[in-house]
């Protein structure tokens, strides 16, 4: 059996601070939400070394994913969650009641946070693509150097 979705969800939840999904009676709704984030993360993960096919009924990937794949997927999920928070009208609407608070400044900070997490995604993929099992890839093999 491959890696359960919950493994990726746990890594994603460790990256965020949200009480959006705390009600146990709504866990099905939360897991459906996380699955949508996971599908976006799979789409955005450009060059995985493992096939990211999955069985939605079993709630798991067909292959066993290493920690590196799990971390890249969780990072992309976090970025999608932040983008949703920024675009959420409920998040911004409450700011209009306080005249001393600058909505534009707050929104600018949220957008900068999104940009920062997007850079984190790029770095996670860069780290992933340059190493195999935590060891740097030997690029001399690509330069036509004969070994042996």
CA 28 to chain centre: 20
Q: Do residues 71 and 11 touch, judged by C-beta distance below 8 A?
A: yes
For the ranges 39-43, 45-49, 89-93, 100-104, the lowest mean pLDDT is seen at 89-93
Q: How far out from the chain centre does Cα 101 lie?
A: 31
Neighbours of 55 (CB within 10 A): 12
**Which pLDDT score is estimated for 135?**
62
| Cα 71 to Cα 128: distance, rounded to the nearest angstrom | 9
58 or 113: which leads in pLDDT: 58
The average pLDDT across 50-70 equals 94
For 4, other C-beta atoms within 10 Å of its C-beta total 15
Mean pLDDT highest for which of 42-56, 105-119, 131-145?
42-56
Note the residue count of the chain.
148
Instruction: Note the pLDDT of residue 125.
Output: 79
Please provide the average confidence, as pLDDT, over all residues in the chain.
81
Between 82 and 3, residue with greater pLDDT: 3
pLDDT at 8 over 90: yes
Handedness of CA 93, 97, 99, 101 (dihedral sign): negative
């Amino acid at each position: 059996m491959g890696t359960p979705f919950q493994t990726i969800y746990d890594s994603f939840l460790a990256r965020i601070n949200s009480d959006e999904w705390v009600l146990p009676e709504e866990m099905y709704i939360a897991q459906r939400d996380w699955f949508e984030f996971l599908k976006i993360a799979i789409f955005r993960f450009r060059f995985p070394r493992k096939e990211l096919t999955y069985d939605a009924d079993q709630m798991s990937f067909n292959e066993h994913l290493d920690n590196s794949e799990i971390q890249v997927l969780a990072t992309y999920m976090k970025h999608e969650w932040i983008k949703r928070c920024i675009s959420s009208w409920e998040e911004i609407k409450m700011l209009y009641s306080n005249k001393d608070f600058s909505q534009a400044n707050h929104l600018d900070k949220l957008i900068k946070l999104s940009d920062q997490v997007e850079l984190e995604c790029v770095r996670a993929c860069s780290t992933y693509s340059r190493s195999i099992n935590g060891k740097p890839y030997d690029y001399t093999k690509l330069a036509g150097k004969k070994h042996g």
